[in-house]
Amino acid sequence: MIFGKIIIDNRDNVQPFYDGLSMGCGEIHFECSTCGHDVREETLLFERANERISIEEREYLKNFFNVVKNPYYNQTSSVGFMRCSHCKSEFALYIGSGEVQMGRYQASLVAVVECNK
Ligand SMILES: [Zn+2]
């Protein structure tokens, strides 16, 4: 994997973009650094889609982002890929999410890097 520039880096200041009752954990969204289009996907769907990435890719991303187990309180970390629906640019993401208290869900966008696999 060859990465371009890191376009979002909240590792030192993680803030939830979703905090509520939905298991879907809201929508991940950020601006495509190539075309400016809004790249978005439901957090739960992002996690499900990225369960299928290889162990090697997962380990590579974890090392690249220096992933920690809990990026924000009780949120757990996950990594994966998202593609801009407009220009097809691909990005690697590091997010935190989970049921942080009984019935309360949170998600945070921790970091995003341009990706050229
Ligand atoms: Zn784009």
Structurally, how many domains does the chain consist of? 1
For residue 96, the CA-to-ligand 1 centroid distance in Å is 23
The pLDDT tens digits for 15-67 are 999 999 999 999 999 999 999 999 999 999 999 999 999 999 999 999 999 99
* Tokens of residue 116, six digits: 């050229």
* Tokens of residue 51, six digits: 């369960």
Q: How many Cβ atoms sit within 10 Å of the Cβ of residue 10?
A: 17
Ordered alpha helix ranges (H), the chain: 43-49, 55-65
For residue 29, the CA-to-ligand 1 centroid distance in Å is 12
Structural domain containing residue 107: 2-116
pTM across the whole model: 0.95
User: Which of 113, 2, 95 minimizes the C-alpha distance to 50?
Assistant: 95
The pLDDT tens digits for 75-114 are 999 999 999 999 999 999 999 999 999 999 999 999 999 9
